[in-house]
Amino acid sequence: MSSHHGDRADTGVARRSVLHGAALAAGGVLLGGAIDLASAEDALALPRPRIYHRGEWNARKPKRWATVLGAPPDRIVVHHTATGNSSDRSRNHAFRLSRSIQNYHMDSNGWDDTGQQLTISRGGHVMEGRNRSLKAITHDNHVVGAHTANHNSHSIGIENEGNYMSATPPRDLMSALVETCAWLCLAYGLNPARAIVGHRDYNATSCPGDKLYGMLPRLRGDVGSRMRSLQARVVLRDDAVPESHLPTYPEVPATERRALFYHGPAVSPEDR
């Protein structure tokens, strides 16, 4: 199922503005009608998944601290880890997963730290990935990760444990993904219909798997419904997202190299 959902023609989504009962800005959408979100902290105070910070899953110290940008991201990129579909749904398993990803990214890939900003286990446990990610979201900033080549400066990446080429993601994982995306969209003022994309929308890869990729339209709708249930208002800016930020929809490769935690291009020369 294609996720071509009008990015080329649509105006961009950017930093959330406060709405005081006024008419919507050009290109804006109303996702409810009772709560004015005056700050990112207000959005983060709304119901959201329990996100385990790096200290809780015993993360290593990064080689270098992450770069924090003052401009918020305009895309949420959905990934799968391309690893086995474990039946272990425990929190301890989720923490081991985060440590394994960090070790691989730092020791095998030579990166400074975990590549993605957030990780969701098959049991629905949500964990902070790259250092400074949660603090950056709280302050309407963006930590530059290593998850989508050429687009790390404007996108936030969510790794979903498992391989979803033919398998369907567990309900716990999808529920946590909906909650996480709704939280991010509120924090950053993003329209889920435009902001939520798959890794393959930018890079030549099968990630996040045919099954999960085909579920993205439903995910966008579920996230929008969750935001409406919170009666949150989101105003979209009428300035266009730069052309370089829009998906290019490259061809999915017929075969993809097999390696632990590899799911397509994550960094480019400009990212390094």
How sure is the predictor about 5, in pLDDT bands with cuts at 50, 70 and 90? very low
Side chain identity at residue 26, one-letter code: A
Give the whole-angstrom CA distance, residue 181 versus residue 264.
22
C-beta of residue 125 within 8 angstroms of C-beta of residue 160: no
How far is residue 138's CA from residue 134's CA, in Å, rounded to a whole number?
Answer: 6
Selection from 27, 106, 108 nearest residue 62 by Cα: 106
Q: Give pLDDT, residue 46.
A: 58
Residue with tokens 């949420």: 76
**What is the rounded average pLDDT for all residues in the chain?**
85
What structural domains and CATH numbers belong to the chain?
49-224 (3.40.80.10)
CB 76 within 8 A of CB 152: no
Helix/strand/coil for 40: helix
pLDDT tens digits, 231-271:
766 666 546 789 999 999 999 998 887 888 999 999 988 77
Q: Is 81 exposed, middle or buried (0-12, 13-18, 19+ CB in 10 A)?
A: buried
Give the model confidence (pLDDT) of 156-210 as tens digits. 999 999 999 999 999 999 999 999 999 999 889 899 999 999 999 999 999 999 9
Q: Which helix (H) or strand (E) holds 77?
A: strand 75-80
Q: Evaluate whether 79 touches 147 at the Cβ level (below 8 Å).
A: yes
Residue that wins the pLDDT comparison between 94 and 269: 94
